[in-house]
């Protein structure tokens, strides 16, 4: 069966397989992909608790490990959550850091094209097989494509978080919102209609603000207005 956790019998070897898959994926990509993968690999190696399937480390410590500032940590962690490579298991609170777990299924799905570069034995080991010899397929996320992160804005990063953690509301309501501007802590988004804007403000405002604050804690308000 396809592994979803690196725990139990054979866990030590599977940990190295996950890191190898990430490394091969990074080396086949561009600089941005390489940096993101290297940061995750370093975080996994240094701080991941495999026994509890948990990553619990503060932004200040991550910043020191990555040799960056805490704002960069926030953005990179949002990208990792948006990819589904890290999943938030418990939100941070006063005196308590956020806790994450590896999204191993998503991570393996994204790195799969590079498995054969390592070797057929490696690919076979990660895929696993049923008694009849058929390869077990990896689960595929819904048809809604992930947002484009190239703009690097707080809204692009927040969309990635929403796509990963709330795919239903994202596909139906949040994907259509566009960034209109930023004034201090107020982020303004534009909806395609008044009804759309009203629905988001009524039913999804808390989730929307939480996602935006998870990538930029200077945001204190998210306003949704209509184009028509």
154-226 carries CATH number 3.30.300.180? yes
- Whether 130 shows a pLDDT value over 50: the answer reads no
Distance CA 115, CA 126 (A): 9
- Evaluated on CA atoms 17, 18, 24, 27, the torsion sign reads negative
pLDDT score, position 143: 62
Task: Kindly report the pTM of this predicted structure.
Answer: 0.67
Of residues 34 and 94, the one with the higher pLDDT is: 34
- Going from the C-alpha of 202 to that of each of 148, 165, 191, 199, 209, the distances in angstroms are 26, 20, 13, 5, 12
Q: For residue 219, is it left (φ>0), alpha (ψ between -120 and 50) or beta?
A: beta
11-127 carries CATH number 1.10.10.10? yes
Please report which confidence band the pLDDT of residue 134 belongs to, taking 50, 70 and 90 as the band edges.
Answer: very low
What mean pLDDT do residues 94-113 have?
Answer: 87
pLDDT score, position 4: 52
b/e 199-218 (16+ beta carbons within 10 angstroms → b): ebeeebeebbbbbbbbbbee
Distance CA 112, CA 123 (A): 8
pLDDT tens per residue across span 16-57: 889 999 999 999 999 999 999 999 999 999 999 888 888 999
Q: Fold identical between 11-127 and 154-226?
A: no
What mean pLDDT do residues 140-150 have?
Answer: 69
Domain boundaries defined on the chain: 11-127, 154-226
- Whether 3 shows a pLDDT value over 60: the answer reads no
The backbone torsions φ and ψ at residue 55, rounded to the nearest 5 degrees and listed phi first, read -120, 115
């Amino acid at each position: 069966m396809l592994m979803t956790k690196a725990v139990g019998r054979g866990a030590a070897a599977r940990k190295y397989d996950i890191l190898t898959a990430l490394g091969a994926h990074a080396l086949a990509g561009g600089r941005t992909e390489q940096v993101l993968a290297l940061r995750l690999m370093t975080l996994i190696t240094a701080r991941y608790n495999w026994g509890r399937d948990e990553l619990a480390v503060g932004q200040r410590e991550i910043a020191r490990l990555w040799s960056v500032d805490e704002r960069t940590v926030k953005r990179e962690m949002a990208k990792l959550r948006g990819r589904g490579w890290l999943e938030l298991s418990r939100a941070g609170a006063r005196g308590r850091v956020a806790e994450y777990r590896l999204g191993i299924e998503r991570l393996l799905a994204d790195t799969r094209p590079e498995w054969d570069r390592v070797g057929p034995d490696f690919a076979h080991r990660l895929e696993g097989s049923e008694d009849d010899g058929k390869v077990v397929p990896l689960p595929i996320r819904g048809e809604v494509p992930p947002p484009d992160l190239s703009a690097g804005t707080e809204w692009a990063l927040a969309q990635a978080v929403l796509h990963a953690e709330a795919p239903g509301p994202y596909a139906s309501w949040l994907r259509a919102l566009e960034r209109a501007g930023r004034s201090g802590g107020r982020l303004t988004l534009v909806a395609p209609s008044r009804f759309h804007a009203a629905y988001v403000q009524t039913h999804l405002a808390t989730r929307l603000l939480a996602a935006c604050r998870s990538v930029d804690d200077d945001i204190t308000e998210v306003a949704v207005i209509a184009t028509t």
